[in-house]
């Protein structure tokens, strides 16, 4: 079975631009969480979606938004990019309520210049 | 609010020697505990988890961890490391009232040398 997939693998954007990152969960998983990992640090929680509804939000500005589609895939959008948004963005999926293990994708490396 | 502290930022170890990575947490509610490994330029792989029951949990690749509630610790151990264990290791906590949100420590870089 395929694991969590993310696209694109890498991308380079300029300050002020907008970016969309995509994630497909493991088949059968209904929850998707997004994390930001700045170089040299542990991942920081951004959002969780379950059954297409936002279930949790971390301490990130409103420039960050996300959504989950009927097939449980998800998009993370970041507007008005700043240099500090350069990071590895990780998507994790889990089965659903009562399932605590999260399985991570390979991440999208975003560089803002 | 909860926090996770990994006490060592880097741990050098010789091949076939044992290793212990320390993790302490603080939380006002019950927690679930996890260890993840991250190889260079990759995502995170779940090594093991503690949800309930036996405080000694075994994971993949010969790793094990012990949950100590009184000391609020969840240290990771491996009796004999291989070169391939060179990676970054993250301890993570999920509180019982915050399903789906993992809080990670800063990570411990393990460097295994021959």
Q: Does B35 touch chain A (CB under 8 A)?
A: no
Q: Do A42 and B105 touch (CB under 8 A)?
A: yes
**Measured CA distances, B63 to A13, A33, B17, B19 (Å):** 40, 26, 13, 10
The answer to whether residue A2 scores a pLDDT higher than 90 is no
pLDDT at A1: 62
CA distance A103 to A98: 15
Q: pLDDT tens digits for A55-86?
A: 999 999 999 999 999 999 999 999 999 999 99
pLDDT at A99: 79
In the 3-class helix/strand/coil scheme, how is chain B assigned residue by residue? CCEEEECCCEEEEECCCCEEECEEEECCCCEEEEEEEECCCCCEEEEEEECCCCCEEECHHHCEEEEECCCCEEEEEECCCCHHHCEEEEEEEEECCCCCCCEECCCEEEEEEC
pLDDT at A17: 98
Q: pLDDT tens digits for A78-105?
A: 999 999 999 999 999 999 877 789 999 9
Kindly identify which residue of chain A lies nearest to residue B39, measuring between CA atoms. A106
Q: Do B100 and A104 touch (CB under 8 A)?
A: no
Q: Does B25 touch chain A (CB under 8 A)?
A: no
The answer to whether residue B32 scores a pLDDT higher than 70 is yes
pLDDT at B98: 83
């Amino acid at each position: 079975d395929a694991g969590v997939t993310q696209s694109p693998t890498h991308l380079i954007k300029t300050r002020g631009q907008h970016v969309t990152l995509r994630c497909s969960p493991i088949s059968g998983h209904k929850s998707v969480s997004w994390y930001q990992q700045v170089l040299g640090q542990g991942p920081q929680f951004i959002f969780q979606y379950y059954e297409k509804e936002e279930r949790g939000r971390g301490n990130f500005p409103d420039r960050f938004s996300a959504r989950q589609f009927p097939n449980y895939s998800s998009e993370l959008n970041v507007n008005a990019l700043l240099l500090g948004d350069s990071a590895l963005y990780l998507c994790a999926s889990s089965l659903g309520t009562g399932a605590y293990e999260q399985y991570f994708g390979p991440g999208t490396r975003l560089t803002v210049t | 609010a909860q926090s996770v502290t990994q006490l060592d930022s880097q741990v050098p170890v010789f091949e076939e020697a044992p290793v212990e990575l320390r993790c302490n947490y603080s939380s006002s509610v019950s927690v679930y505990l996890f260890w993840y490994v991250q190889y260079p330029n990759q995502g995170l792989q779940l090594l093991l988890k503690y949800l309930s029951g036996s405080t000694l949990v075994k994971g993949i690749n010969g790793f094990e961890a012990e949950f100590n509630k009184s000391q609020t610790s969840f240290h990771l151990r491996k009796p004999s490391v291989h070169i391939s264990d060179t990676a970054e290791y993250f301890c993570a906590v999920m509180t019982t009232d915050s399903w789906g949100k993992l809080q990670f420590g800063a990570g411990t870089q393990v460097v295994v040398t021959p």
